[in-house]
Chains A and B, each alone.
Chain A
Amino acid sequence: MTVKLKEMLQKPQILSSGHRMCAGCAAPTIIKLVGMALRGPTVFCNATGCLEVATTIYPYTAWKVPWIHVAFENASAVASGVIEAYKAMAEKGRSKFEHVDVVAIGGDGGTFDIGFGSLSGALERGHDFVYLVYDNGAYQNTGIQRSGATLPGQETTTSWAGTVEPGKRQKKKPLAEIVAAHRIPYVATVAPYYYRDFITKFRKALEVEGPAFVHAHSSCPRGWRSDTSKSIELSKLAVETGLHPLYEVIDGTKYVMSGPSKRLKELKPVDEYFKLQGQFKHLFTPQWEDFRKEIQEWVYQDWELLRKKCGLD
């Protein structure tokens, strides 16, 4: 699908203003981009998280599309039920829709960690749905605790930077690749700064038959201690530093680097991404100089490996 800006802007938004997400949060932007990619009747299944609680404070809702939330770890399972029910009812002549697109949404905690079992199960069963993770690198909804998506060196309220610890020591779980290893038809990483790339990929995810997974970088000024005006710039930097490279994986094996990442002559230093966020400021003290260099090394290694997978070396 070629994305035409003019057409995109004419689409009715699926999330209304006044949704009560924090200023600068990238999640509502991500949802608006998702809305622009939709192709027909769609149902959303949302895991517990910032997006869920902030947009549906009863008796108000910001959602202009059918939307259901059940719990934290089961968005994929709920989506499985929704899809199969629509199919069953369509076959029995009880649905007015021949097909309904189903989108499950979770934050990184609800996807990388607690919801991983239910996600993996749904992928293995091959339901025709799109799972979108908006990854802000921590359990931001409960007050900034580390998750499987938290970066090394990132300070959270359960991975403090202290006199003997540099924030989180462990690497980030390579979720997009773990998901791709299920050999599902389509996996893509996206960042809201690259909105055309985002919408094109999300539309592709909807169009493939079977499960698709979209991993979105999502800035969180509150958790990241970053300026609310820098959120979209941070999403650009995440791509340029190689912390959130943009690529697709087709059928679990074919890796394709996306334009914005492919066009990079070389990666920017991760420092550029880190220095805009209070959560990394301890890394710039002499004590953690070596650890910061080590993180940079890891990012370079991962980048080279990814390029190789994409056939670029």
Chain B
Amino acid sequence: MTAVEKIPADKIKIEGLTGDAAIAHAFKQCDIDVMAAYPITPQTIIVEDFQKFAANGEVQTKVITVESEHSAMSACIGASATGARVATATASAGLALMWEVLYCAASMRMPIVLTVANRALSAPINIHNDWSDSYGARDSGFIQLYCQNSQEAYDTTIMAFKLAEDHRVLLPVMVCIDGFILSHNVERVEMLPDEAVKSFLGVREPVQPLDPDNPLTMGPLALTDYYFEFKEQQDRAIHAVPDVFKEVEEAFKKMTGRSYGMVEDYKTEDADIILLTHSTPAGTAKVVADTLREQGEKVGVLRLKMFRPFPVKEVVEKIKHAKAVAVFEKCLSFGAVCNPLALELRSALYDLDERPMVTDFVIGLGGRDVPPTTIVDGYNKTKEYLAKGKAPLYETLGVRK
């Protein structure tokens, strides 16, 4: 790790930025070599803003205005393979179109940073937020980090390069923000001086780049005799992520005073019921917890920042004492036992002798508003199920029945 110092307050620039704009600014400061750009709502502002920087000569980046998201990720792989620092952004159908090459990026160990402005998948076509897109890509081998506000989106983007390019990791990272709710919402963002970001990240040091002086065959065919070993090593790499993530966050904290953790716990210590969610609903859940606490309810919130790899140890540690965990998630896994986040949590808890009850609430699909009352509704239902000693595997909230 590079030695970092606390940035004095007078060096910090404060601006009102949308989540998208915050990420575009982070990309600019990260001095990326190549960006692949293709528009899709609600990610568009990221690549638009970045290209404005490029048009004004504020960045030394080659922007490739590709003809599809499939080519966006493909171009990122080509660029990353040469040893460049690379990023792109997408959402929804765009991420779905990248699906095939997401696996290539991860399996070829390319440290690409991909911002996803989470958006629902068709049909019906819908431009608003839920997590169906990135949850669909959860097994692609990308690290997945979810942000709650613009500041975190900015900070996480910078940290993502450090994490991805670390030689113990060398995996692509998906930085996820809720479409519109965060991508288009203006918030106060503290920005670091360019120099600080530059020295925090340094220049990417590729391990095995495409190099005419040292020819290398990348992306070969491996059949029954070797394919499995490749996957075994990739699996090991993603499990190395939590330790490196902690180091990266620690260094970032020294510089900014800010860190987020793989999970953020809020009033969970003595809580009987813990609300588990991530991204923007976590903010709402914390407000709900405050109000319920005032009414004497023992409730807390666990916000998940990292979904891949799933921080089993940290999650279990924070919730094992609770009587119930109410999961709020913006995705349906059609025909599954329950939905992705709850599935993950139930598996994580399985080995405990005494497990909290898990309730699973699907909320906010296609941008349906998630007001505090929706969270309260889930909380009340969880209390009721606790009293009965039995809960449904999952249910939807805030939808016409």
Contact = CB atoms under 8 A, between A and B. Distances in A.
A71 B104 contact: yes
Nearest to A56: B220
Interface in B178-227: 203, 210-223, 226
A93 to B, nearest CB: 10
Tell which of A65, A84, A92 has the most Cβ of chain B within 10 Å.
A84
Contacts of A81: 34, 36, 64, 74-82, 86
Contact of A88 (B33, B36, B108): B33
Nearest to B82: A85
A13 interface: no
Interface in A19-48: 41-43, 45
A42 B82 CA distance: 12
B400 to A, nearest CB: 40
A234 interface: no
A67 interface: yes
Contacts of B217: 56, 61, 63, 67-68
A135 interface: no
B62 A85 contact: yes
Given A70-B101, A82-B81, A82-B210, A88 B62 contact: yes
Given A85-B86, A88-B61, A118-B67, A69 B219 contact: yes
A121 B221 contact: no
> For this complex, into which size category does the number of interface residues on chain B fall?
35 or more
Contacts of B100: 71
Contacts of B289: none
B84 interface: yes
Interface of B: 33-34, 36, 60-62, 64-68, 70-72, 74-84, 86, 100-101, 104, 108, 203, 210-223, 226
Given A70-B108, A85-B86, A94-B203, A78 B212 contact: no
B215 A71 contact: no
A80 B78 contact: yes
B47 to A, nearest CB: 15
A49 B358 CA distance: 48
Interface in A87-107: 87-89, 91-92, 94, 96-97, 100
B71 A74 contact: yes
7 contacts: A56-B221, A65-B212, A66-B212, A85-B81, A88-B33, A117-B68, A121-B66
Nearest to B209: A66
Nearest to A79: B78
Given A52-B221, A68-B218, A85-B62, A80 B83 contact: no
A85 B71 contact: no
A84 B75 contact: yes
The 7 closest A-B pairs by CB, nearest first: A81-B78, A121-B67, A41-B212, A77-B71, A81-B75, A56-B220, A77-B74
